[in-house]
Amino acid sequence: MPDSTTCSGGSSPNRKRHHKRRREGRRNSFLRCALFCAYIFSPAQNEMSISSLISSPITVSDAFTQPLPTTQCRLHRQKNNILQVATEPNIDTDTLQKSTLEKMTVKELKSYMTDNNILIPRGEASNLKLKKNIVDFIWSRLNNNDESSTTPITSSPKEAAPTTSDDAATPKTNNRTKRPIGTRMPPLPESSPTSNNDNNNDSTYKLTPKDRIVLEVLDRYPPLHEAIVDACSIDSVLSEGITADNIEHCELNSLTYNVPPGIGENDMRHQYHPMLANATQTDMDVVFVGTASCSPGVTRGVSCTAIRLNWRNNREFDQVMNGGQRNKHDPQDQQRASTGGTWLFDAGESTQLSVQRTSSIKPGKISKIFITHCHGDHSFGLPGLLCLMGTDRDRDAPPVEIYGPEGLRMWLRVAIRYSVSRVVPPYRVHELMDVPMAPEWEEGHRRNGRFYYQLKSEGRKGMKWGTKGLAGEDSSSWISRAPMVNMEPNKDFGEIHGGQDIYPVYDHPKSTDGAPVWEVLDDGGVSVFAAPMSHGVPCLGYVVQEDDRPGRLMPENVMPVIERNRKELVESGVRNPMKLMALVKNLPVGGSYTFPDGTVLNQEDVVEPPGKGRKVVICGDTADCRALEGLAQDCDVLIHEATNTFLPGVDKEGTLRLVTRDAKIHGHSTPFMAGDFAKRVRAKRLVLNHFSARYKGDQSIESLTIMTRMERQAMKACELPENAVACAWDFMVLPVPRN
């Protein structure tokens, strides 16, 4: 039989003694730990050594009578019943040493700052993550008081530079004068602290990147600056303007102020944004009716962009004689009035409401509508817009020409017929056939009852486009089913015959990597081309190209020759020799004209080079616009989507790389991607649109700050100046001057 004294399963007295010894062992271990903590946190460093403290036998009475002059021990049990020691330093600030602070943990240091009311200046919290920086910060506050109370803590543990006697003896004065409305703020001082080694005593607050963007926005938009200053009028420090010296006192996140009013051309951004500050009126301009993605919001409508062509000329045609009314029975006047007009690109949900909110778009002047793809934020507003146009348009006016991917004709016919909408104007639908998916999107497949395409690789130049459109691959999709619908066009519901099926050209001279190009139309001096985009559904991007203008005749090179040969010209049967001016001007390139005295005038010697036509590129939703690269070269305006981006300080999670990857997976772009394409096509101006719903489009400081940061991202990628890059807002009007 085993000895009961050595077996845990012995008699009851032995078992009790065994458990008692275990309890005493745990208690002694705990007490040694407690005394060890007392030794560590004691400034006086108790005379007994650590080894003797741990090795010496300890009783309960000795442990609790052990003097702990500088440490209060508090025992508490956690949920798992494990004993721990929590120490709270009982520090006398009168005899505080820096070594004492260095022995405290980060949590204890922060608790000490809270207990002693040591405040962290605005913008310095990010510099107080390391224990060494926190110790230096507390020590400087306790010893330097007023002079060091706002000294920024840098990432290096260097001591602050001593203040000279001249600086200390010279009192600081505040003699700022009130800045009148409309004047720009003074630039940021070059001596403002921008690095860890900057020891400028004139400005003790270190500007954060957000502060610099805010100051830039306030400098750019004086009305917004005045509105914020008025809201801060109770603060004497901010009553004279927000500058780099006092921005630390302005809490914009909690400030209530009046956002400057005005929409469309009355928006303050039309007057102060660098792209529009010096803009002049032209006969071609771009109006951004909607700039959001997914769904309309309070400050942004969904995708809709308008181009006004020959606007002033058409206004002259509409204000002709006959009592100020256009002569409807004059075929020539009718044809001239139909030239140009307003062309709309996409008509997302509630577009008819957005059109009525701006005076820049007249529904009755819309002559052509182009749809990029079938998603609702680009097409749901088309039936309602046609109904609005029908109430403001003559029934005998030319029909509205509508262009878009295949399936659009039957979808619009069904929508109008189902709603019994007889108010729509006459219209024709021209379908762009065989729109393919980009080669980086794998062939569609069905999963959980849904057919969709998925991005399998990143698009890049050199990937060959296929010659087959994948739009009808799903047998149950609308594009596949639409030809089977037995519903003929009916003029009582607006649709008239004549809609074309436009097929792509694969050997177009400006095609990229074999991508198809659609020659959409050629309308009196303006042509439209289309190319496929990289998106989750068949999608198109459009290029509006103005024809080159004939060069101007140089009369100083022609008149002397005509005068010298006038007599001979009259004798040869030319009654009015001056009419030869028009003949010489219209010579073909490389042509010439020989006068009676043998003088030969070459076309290039008397006619200036032709003026290059303007070009506007409107990309649909896309993760890659490379199919448009050949068509978009040297464009005057590139309108590119920038659905999402990563903004440090605004986005709490993620990185730029993750946001970019997520954007590509969903067939969208970031400002960096838009800027990269603008650089590749040598665009003169870049305008971003199609923003996520989380980006507001109003004139608040929050919205303008975010949009300015997105512009900076695009500028970094495309290397264009600030007056050539803009984030669009609703009802922005951008003139496109002649080259």
Please answer whether residues 382 and 369 qualify as being in contact, where contact means their C-beta atoms are separated by less than 8 angstroms. Answer: yes
Give the separation between CA 147 and CA 151, rounded to whole angstroms. Answer: 8
Helices (H), 626-720: 656-665, 671-680, 701-718
Give the separation between CA 246 and CA 252, rounded to whole angstroms. Answer: 13
Q: Is the pLDDT of residue 316 over 70?
A: no
Give the separation between CA 41 and CA 278, rounded to whole angstroms. Answer: 68
Give the separation between CA 12 and CA 24, rounded to whole angstroms. Answer: 18
In 298-364, at which residue ranges do the beta strands (DSSP E only) sit?
A: 304-309, 341-345
- Mean pLDDT of the residues in the chain: 78
pLDDT one-digit tens code per residue, 628-673: 999 999 999 999 999 999 999 888 888 999 999 999 999 999 999 9
Question: Tell me, what DSSP letter sits at residue 530?
Answer: E
Burial class (CB within 10 angstroms; exposed 0-12, middle 13-18, buried 19+) of 460: exposed
Give the separation between CA 616 and CA 258, rounded to whole angstroms. Answer: 36
Give the separation between CA 152 and CA 194, rounded to whole angstroms. Answer: 11
Alpha carbon 677 to chain centroid, angstroms: 15
pLDDT one-digit tens code per residue, 325-349: 444 444 444 444 445 789 999 999 9
Q: Is the pLDDT of residue 22 over 80?
A: no
Percent of the chain with pLDDT over 70: 71
Q: Which tokens go with 334?
A: 């009718």
Q: Is the pLDDT of residue 480 over 80?
A: no
Instruction: Tell the residue number behind the tokens 């458990």, with chain if given.
Output: 19
Give the separation between CA 733 and CA 305, rounded to whole angstroms. Answer: 10
Within 8 A by CB and 6+ apart from 311, the residues are: 283, 284, 285, 340, 342
Alpha carbon 367 to chain centroid, angstroms: 30
Q: Is the pLDDT of residue 118 over 50?
A: yes
Of 40-49, 114-123, 237-246, 550-559, the poorest mean pLDDT is in 40-49
Q: Which tokens go with 50?
A: 């650590």
pLDDT one-digit tens code per residue, 535-581: 988 999 999 999 998 888 999 999 999 999 999 999 888 889 988 89
Q: Which tokens go with 598?
A: 């043998």
- CB-hemisphere CA count at 13 Å for 710? 32
Domains and CATH numbers, the chain: 12-90 (no CATH), 95-159 (no CATH), 182-254 (no CATH), 281-548+613-735 (3.60.15.10), 555-606 (no CATH)
What is the phi/psi pair of residue 352, to 5°?
A: -65, -30
pLDDT one-digit tens code per residue, 632-643: 999 999 999 999
